[in-house]
Chains A and B, each alone.
Chain A
Amino acid sequence: MRRNLKNLFVLGGLLLGSSLYAQEKTVTGKVTDSYGLGVSDAVVKTTSGQEAITDEDGNFSIQAKQGDLVSVEAIGLPSQSFTVGAGSEYNVSLKPTETVELEGAVVTALGITRDKKSLGYATQQVAGETVSAVPLSNFADALSGEVAGLDIKSSGTMGGSSNMIIRGFSSITGNNQALVVVDGTPINNGTYNTGDQTTGRGGFDYGNAASDINPNDIETLNVLKGAAATALYGSRGQNGVIMITTKRGKKNKGIGVEFNSAITVGTADKSTLPRYQKKYGAGYRPLTVREGGHPDNPYFTVGPGNSFVAQFGADASYGAAFDPNLMVRQWNSLFEGLPNYGRATPWVAAKNDPNSIWGTSTTYVNTASFSGSNEDGGFRVSFTNNLTDGNLANSELKRNTLSFGGDYKLTDKLKATANIIYTNNKGRGRVGTGYDGLNPMQSFRQWWQTNVDLKEQEQAYFLTRRNISWNATSLTNTTPQYTDNYYWTRYENYQNDSRDRYTGNASLDYKINDWLSLTGRYSFDNYDELREGRIAVGSAGSLGEYMYFKQSVSENNYDVMLNVNKQLTDNISLDANAGWNLRVEKIDRFIGTTNGGLLIPGLYSLSNSANGLTAANISQFTGTKKVDGMYARASLGFYNMFYLDGSIRTDRSSALWSGQQNRYWYPSVSGSFVFSELMKGSFINFGKVRANYAQVGNDTDMYNLYNVYTLNAPFNGGSATNPSQFKNQLLKPENMTEYEFGLEMAMFKNRVTFDVSYYNRKTTDLITPVDVSSSSGASSIFLNAGDMVNKGIEASLTVIPVKSEDFTWRLGFNFARNRNEVTKLAEGVDYLQLASLQGGISIGAQVGEAYGIIRGTGFVYDDNGNKVVGDNGQYLASATTTKIGNMNPDWTGGVKNTISYKNLSLSFLIDFQKGGDVFSLDTFYGYATGLYDNFTTGLNDLGNPVRNTLANGGGVILPGVKQDGTPNDVRVDASNGNGQGNPWGYLSGTSPRQAHVYDASFVKLRNVTLTYDLPQKFLDNTFIKKLSVSAVGRNLWIIHKNVPFSDPEAGLSAGNVQGYQSGAHPTIREIGASLKVQF
């Protein structure tokens, strides 16, 4: 689309400053980018109306008068200007920045290049370097805090998904993720994680498919936020679009070669891991003599020779106080071949607690790219190898990306462009998530004995290669009761996966005349994915299992577009497109799981199933969805000051029934007024107000119209079950309406720039599987039910407090505040549950509340806001479930400092979130089982250990008031880990669920990058054109948070269920170095 640029600047010239009368002369110069390479196709313009385009080396020549302001603009780079003085040679270096730019060319929907000043809607651009500075497996993670209104939440697992939400959640149960478009190709961004995974019941987070995009190939990234910006993408774009433009062939003499190499090492941030208490060991409670309790110490059972035996089966740390003089038969005494077999060992806290499993990860990213061009075309080829050796044993990710982009002028009028990216992704040993044994953090945060040493567990596994678990059922039955040896899980029950993906497009541009052209484009995104899961024979609660998942996913888009670009009069310009698009999505998936265990241990194959595979073990899903659309868009510009845009689109979707309504129309209109045109010479360098209104229609997923039965395993013939979610043939399209206002300004010689938007977005007739009384026969039914409003403010501000030849300090702020309200659900329904989650809570949409409230039992408060306790001194819980939290933040923001001195530049980003809540299943269970070093092991108001029995001066008085309003003075027993004496945990009649809801606010030092460009003089006599080295850091410091022992951002995976932690993984702090060389 580069070709459009020339025309573009015919429309919108940049006229800054005032001109003085002077003699016209020829001014020459060279435009270079931050690498010192010539920038071709840059537009050079003077205030007196001259215009020139740079050649392949970046050279230009233009007629100008002394005093003329000359502006230089190139795609993806900020514009620069200089004033013509006495000289006649001016070199311009366009350095990419990562802050908001108000002017310059941007790529908008469908790859249409526009001058940013003409846009009537909000966009925010991020330079490719921002996402490639720190080697990451998922480019989206680098956007945290960078863009106002784009909320990125990484699930925190190795290779896990990132939730990408622009302007809040606008669909109740549908997809809310931003659309990612690479060089005009929409990218499938699904996770295809299981329902269990997204609701915390176990499974692997396979990451969203957009993480295949190689950060090193990204030239620029433009975030289109509102409906008016994305209307041309149809419903696909209604959650906002992240437009990625990849790097293209630079016009070099010969072949340009670039080499980047980076290494990072990552370690777990201790503040996001449990801090284990070191006072008490295994057990829930003292045992009675009948239960085998030892007469001398009832926390132990009786072993051979009247020895003390630890309670292996009790997965809690509410047992005997540690005492190095106490000799106890522990798990390690049970297994022949272990050094302590048959021996008692001192009763002490483990030297190596579970935090010791979090080793160092290393990520290597190496990219080599070659580019070249001549007057007829250019190309770029790059190869990237990304290798991550994870923090946990036996975990790794590998990704190889080969990309090619090129264009060629076939004739004067016909140009061909093609991009293709091949990615091969391999993962092994991803870490389980949620409440599941494959997630080690389930046990380590919730069910754990603090006396168990992980190094010894490691030794036990490697010595025997058996599942020797600390959680032996008893002295005589050593099979694990609930929890496997962690190393067994890592080395035997590991998964693996791979994805081969081809993404790209081919397009032809035919220039009919100087104002009319026709573009045809075919774009594709196809991948094949394999996932294999294993559970070895000998694992707790399993007879062995093998799972084989294979799917092919494809999306093909066919586009034809007619482009008009015409200067109607001297002061009126027209820019218009009309086009047609057909999108074909296909999916074909097979999942097979062995039945009843594995016959031959260690052989992972469906044919090794103990019993035959039945309908219950096989799942197939095949389908095609087609959507065709037609659209027209026109933009008129008047006097370079007023711009008016309108578009209309219609789509027809195969996912809706033609007998009801399968076609829908929607318009958009936007306008902008560059008022600074009237204020030339003032301190205002640029000013624009904009407004827009847009509608977007939307369809639904395939197969939401007709019920089908699930076939069960046969039993004397077939068996079938009705679906719990009923489909509905009468679904109509959804609708979204949005209006937006914005103001963009640059002042004080562009030293202060800002961009503010207000938007109001209403989604109606949302196609939603509405939860209904199951007496209807279904648990949910697809209906057009649900209206939501999102309104908010986005602001970004850049200040350059210091700017001199050698020293620049740039400060960027961004801020976003979104308020969501569910305004309507189905008739008679005021709460729609998105997920019922373990811990007796649910997350859902309630009329009159924000989308994503957390419901569960709450505290009972008196009129003064004190928590009320009952007669027994325990907190009272609300009689029924009530709103106890809201997953949406109040506001989010980021501050980025960039300081450069000569060839050295330092930038760091602090980002923050205020508000939002998260429920922790980890403290819900873990506070009951007493593994944390906190109030569950401390001293009470009497100065005694809280865990002493009441008779021995233990127990706690919970802060609050009694029902009569007087301060609570009832001391509650806290001596047991099983609910008969513990006010903190999960058990009945004790604390309300609200006790485990935490404020998710945070302040984080997210990124630090220090870069040194080797001065050109050292390179002059070498074949190296440019060399820079950087030191980078990511997730360096959580400056503030309120969630104990975990990162407030940790979650399950991308999706609509946020605000819930179960077996949360720690945040990995990464430090690295990178080298970039150009030849």
Chain B
Amino acid sequence: MKKILLGLVTVFALNSCTDEDYDNLNHDPRNPEVVPASFLVTGGNTSYFYRMISTNVNQNIFRLVSQYWNETEYTQETNYDLEGRQISDSFWNEINMNVLYDLSEASKMVDTDVNLSEAQKINQKAIIDLLQVQAWQTLVDTFGDIPYSESLQGKDNLNPKYDDAKTIYEDLIRRAIESTNKINATEGGFGGADIIYNGDMSKWKKFGASLQLKLGIQLSDVDASLAQSTITSAVNSGVFTSQADNFTIVYPGAEPYTNPLWIDLIKSGRNDFVAANTIVDKMNSLNDPRRVKFFKENLGTGVFVGGEYGRATAFAGHTQISATLEDISYPGTLLDYTEVQFMLAEAAARGFAVGGTAESFYNAGIKASFEFWGNTTAEADAYLAQPTVAYATAAGDWKQKIGNQFWLAMYNKGFEGWNVWRRLDAPTLNLPQATQNPVPTRYTYPIRERNLNKVNYDQASSAIGGDKQTTKLFWDVN
């Protein structure tokens, strides 16, 4: 029996690991549980830019939705098969998980960072909030009603309810104004870790104001008074005044931080896209000098032929995408001076006091676009002198005049081109040839939402008038 006892003693000696020892084994020694806020802001920003700029058909098809480009061989996306390609899932997941959630965590990290001054905390939180507002607006403008007030709560709320899109807009406007106003341009923000403005808080303030303008203008058809007050706030606060203010990311040009287009257009070795006839035909008719900047002259000098939208159109024989956009370090630009000028033109046309006329901002917008793409001032002046372009003589009502030029100027910003088309009903887009599916006015909700958040999904679907690609958003009433 002594030996048995000896055995048992051995057993308990071996068994003497405490619960504490065991618990410690569960903390991953190679990956952080806490990081500085700036890490997450950079993570969220790079994700957002990548998602809005890439032309990977699994990630961003907005250039097809707004018919700047056409696919050469595999035309599912061109024909708006959002469901079959799970386009909505991919977009919704990315913006919620890798942009908004990262930013909301960043905000918490700022709160608990003892190394920051109060003023710095306020500035950092304002930046984070403006970035969130921007991403939220993108989501609402894509889907309509979305989970907002109950979202981003992890396991505390697995089935967030959907909020009314208009109500979300009102809150976003409130947040944009408050955060812009909180920014103290003389205090520090994220400093050198700020990959957009390199710590220049005055530019963040301008960004906040421009964002207000963007929120306000979108509402003009449904809530003119809120639109007006928001736009007024934006103008008073000070929107972008030059290209130097643009919300731009300068890619170092080494993977993974390259121009996202380079991945799909060059690195892949594939030839998936050509210019769409929708934009090429219009530019040809306007004799637009930006064609040589937007596209290659692969068919001969001055010859531009777009692929018939929605049909498979061979890479050879059609106008191809500009080499500028293929450059590995071509910067990514989202909200910019050009867009701001066009929004102001639109605001003026709608009768809001924004310190200029529709025509003056229209001209400024076109000039800004020419400047951005590297055309000369003389080219811009000559272009504007054409009766088909000049504000006074261009065809159609103000919506068509501004809409056509705004849309052209938004080339390479597919999402904004789509916004212009929906808000101003101009230009006229084509029906895709293969299927004649109508151009989407929104994305349908993700398949995952239908499966995983069904009750709330059903409510939202009926609230917006049906979960269809052709359901119009609340602000898209005219």
Contact = CB atoms under 8 A, between A and B. Distances in A.
Interface of A: 284-285, 287-288, 290-292, 301, 313-314, 473-474, 479-482, 510, 512, 516, 518, 520, 540-543, 558, 560, 562, 580, 582, 595-596, 611-612, 614, 616, 620-626, 628, 652-655, 657-659, 662, 702-703, 705-713, 715-722, 724, 726, 728, 770-779, 781, 783, 826-831, 833, 836, 840, 857, 880-881, 978-980, 986-989
Interface in B7-51: 7, 10-11, 14-15, 17, 19-23, 25-33, 35-36, 38-40, 42-43, 46-47
B353 to A, nearest CB: 38
Contacts of B73: 284, 313-314, 978
17 contacts: A474-B316, A479-B269, A481-B270, A512-B4, A520-B7, A628-B17, A654-B22, A706-B27, A708-B32, A713-B256, A721-B43, A724-B97, A771-B451, A772-B452, A778-B97, A978-B312, A988-B79
B195 A715 contact: yes
B15 A721 contact: no
B81 interface: yes
A829 B10 CA distance: 48
B98 A722 contact: yes
B40 A715 contact: no
Given A707-B33, A720-B43, A987-B75, A562 B7 contact: yes
B14 A582 contact: yes
B146 A775 contact: yes
A481 B32 CA distance: 41
Nearest to A629: B15
A719 B96 contact: no
Interface stretch (B100-108, B284-292, B333-341): B100-108
Given A709-B33, A712-B46, A772 B158 contact: yes
B92 A292 contact: no
B4 A775 contact: no
A836 B86 CA distance: 10
Contacts of B105: 722
A718 B154 contact: no
A774 B96 contact: yes
A621 B449 contact: no
Closest 6 CB pairs between A and B? A988-B81, A777-B101, A658-B19, A291-B314, A654-B22, A717-B193
B259 to A, nearest CB: 13
B453 interface: yes
Interface string B89-118: 100110011101110110000000000000
A291 B270 contact: no
Contacts of B86: 836, 840
Contact of B40 (A480, A708, A720, A770): A720
B89 to A, nearest CB: 8
A979 B22 CA distance: 58
B160 A580 contact: no
A291 B33 contact: no
Interface in B311-351: 311-318
Nearest to A560: B11
- In which size bucket is the chain B interface? 35 or more
B196 to A, nearest CB: 10
Q: Which of A285, A595, A721, A771 is the most central at the interface, judged by chain B CB atoms within 10 Å of its CB?
A: A721
Nearest to A301: B316
A779 B40 CA distance: 18
B254 interface: yes
Contact of B25 (A543, A623, A829): A623
A881 B81 CA distance: 14
A482 B80 CA distance: 24
B450 interface: yes
A1014 to B, nearest CB: 51
Given A658-B19, A705-B26, A717-B42, A774 B317 contact: no
Interface of B: 3-4, 7, 10-11, 14-15, 17, 19-23, 25-33, 35-36, 38-40, 42-43, 46-47, 73-76, 79-81, 83-86, 89, 92-93, 96-98, 100-102, 104-105, 146-147, 151-155, 157-160, 192-195, 198, 252, 254-257, 267-271, 305, 311-318, 433-435, 437, 446-455
Nearest to B30: A620
A913 to B, nearest CB: 29
Contacts of A479: 269
Given A481-B269, A775-B92, 18 more contacts: A284-B312, A580-B14, A595-B255, A626-B25, A653-B22, A706-B28, A713-B256, A715-B252, A720-B102, A721-B98, A773-B448, A774-B96, A776-B155, A829-B158, A830-B451, A831-B452, A979-B312, A989-B79
Q: Which of B17, B42, B192 is the most central at the interface, judged by chain A CB atoms within 10 Å of its CB?
A: B42
B158 A828 contact: yes
B43 A625 contact: no
Contact of A773 (B11, B76, B316, B452): B452
A712 B35 contact: no
A979 B434 contact: yes
Contacts of B33: 706-709
A720 B158 contact: no
Given A626-B17, A828-B159, A774 B93 contact: yes
A427 B452 CA distance: 42
Nearest to A879: B83
Contacts of B79: 979, 988-989
Contacts of A473: 269, 271
Nearest to A473: B271
Contacts of B40: 709, 720-722
Nearest to A839: B84
A708 B31 contact: yes
Contacts of A622: 29-30
A712 B43 CA distance: 7
Nearest to A981: B434
B461 to A, nearest CB: 11
Contact of B26 (A582, A703, A778, A857): A703
